[in-house]
């Protein structure tokens, strides 16, 4: 009996459409094999019906597929030209930025130049930061009185009362060396002059003549040793006229800057 059951299973697996008479007799007696055979018949019937069911024709024409293929090809080619497009765009943007800078640069530089301190003032600031406190200028009118013989012996050479303007240094390129403290101090002293003294004009001569002389800076003259320490003698610089009454009253060694 079990042999026939296995044989039926084998026949079903092989897809046999007809069963031998021995198996047909066995199916009539065995409920399990009967169930299997009916299920197999139902399966085959369903397959037959499904196979015979008409499959609709595919109506997709070639043209849309061809168009999509061409589209895909075009999109694939895009990346080849894309770097050139990016490079071109970047170059145009760079050119536009440069042109904008060229147009706007003079307008922006003018106030910047006004706000920038002159080279002499910048040097003054740097000297203030670097020089020791003793080498700094003494406050105006704080010059120690000095005997004439001391001044004569201490001063190495007569110095001109008139200080060359800072612009002269720039034009000639003969800027003072950092190792010459006197020359630096003189330059700094010029830088500390008030604005009207820095650039006197011919129209302002009458105003300058009537103005009261006042000390605007002090010039270091020479170095001397006092109580085992190095001291610097300063020459106060006044702004005013040589004929002023107050000019030579205090110290005969005061320098006077005149405006003509």
Partner 1 sequence: MMDRALAMDNLYAGAVDRTLTDEQLAAKARAGDSAAMEELYLRYRQPIFRVVYRSTRNIDEAEDIVQDVFLKAFERLHTFREQSRFSTWLMRIALNLCTDRARMRHRRQELLEREADHKLAWSHPNAPDPIEAARQNAFQEAFYTALDQLPEHHRQLIILRDLEEMDYEEIAQILGVSVGAVKLRVMRARRAFKTKLEPLLRAIGELE
Tell me the closest approach of the beta carbon of residue 80 to partner 1, in angstroms: 17
Assess contact for 197 and 189: CB atoms under 8 A: no
Residue with Cβ nearer partner 1 (28 or 102):
28
Residue with Cβ nearer partner 1 (76 or 195):
76
Tell me the closest approach of the beta carbon of residue 85 to partner 1, in angstroms: 25
- Contact footprint for partner 1 (CB under 8 A): 13, 35, 38-40, 42-43, 45-47, 49-51, 53, 55-66, 68-69, 72
Residue with Cβ nearer partner 1 (27 or 217):
27
Spatial separation of the C-alpha atoms in residues 238 and 240, rounded to whole Å? 6
Residue with Cβ nearer partner 1 (80 or 102):
80
Tell me the closest approach of the beta carbon of residue 18 to partner 1, in angstroms: 18
Q: How far is CA 240 from CA 16, 204, 210, 253, in A?
A: 135, 12, 8, 15
Pairing relationship of beta strands 229-239 and 214-226 according to DSSP bridges: antiparallel
Q: Write the CB contacts of 176 (distance below 8 Å, at least 6 apart in sequence).
A: 169, 183, 184, 186, 187
Which is it for the CA torsion 244, 248, 249, 254, positive or negative?
positive
Tell me the closest approach of the beta carbon of residue 17 to partner 1, in angstroms: 13
């Amino acid at each position: 009996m079990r042999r026939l059951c296995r044989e039926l299973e084998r026949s079903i697996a092989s897809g046999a459409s007809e069963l031998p008479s021995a198996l047909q007799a066995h199916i009539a007696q065995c409920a399990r094999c009967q169930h299997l055979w009916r299920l197999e018949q139902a399966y085959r019937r369903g397959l037959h019906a499904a196979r015979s069911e008409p499959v609709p024709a595919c109506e997709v024409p070639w043209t849309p597929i061809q168009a999509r293929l061409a589209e895909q090809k075009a999109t694939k080619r895009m990346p080849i030209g894309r770097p050139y497009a990016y490079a071109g765009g970047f170059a145009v943007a760079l050119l536009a930025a440069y042109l904008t800078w060229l147009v706007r640069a003079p307008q922006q530089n003018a106030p910047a130049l006004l706000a920038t301190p002159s080279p002499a003032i910048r040097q003054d600031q740097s000297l203030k930061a670097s020089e020791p406190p003793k080498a700094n200028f003494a406050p105006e009118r704080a010059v120690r009185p000095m005997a004439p013989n001391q001044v004569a012996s201490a001063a190495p050479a007569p110095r001109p009362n008139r200080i060359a303007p800072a612009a002269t240094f720039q034009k000639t390129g003969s800027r003072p060396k950092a190792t010459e403290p006197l020359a630096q101090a003189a330059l700094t002293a010029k830088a500390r002059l008030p604005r009207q003294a820095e650039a006197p004009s011919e129209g302002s001569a009458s105003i300058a003549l009537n103005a009261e002389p006042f000390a605007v800076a002090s010039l270091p003259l020479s170095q001397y040793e006092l109580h085992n320490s190095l001291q610097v003698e300063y020459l106060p610089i006044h702004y005013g006229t040589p004929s002023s009454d107050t000019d030579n009253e205090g110290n005969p060694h005061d320098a006077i800057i005149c405006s003509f």
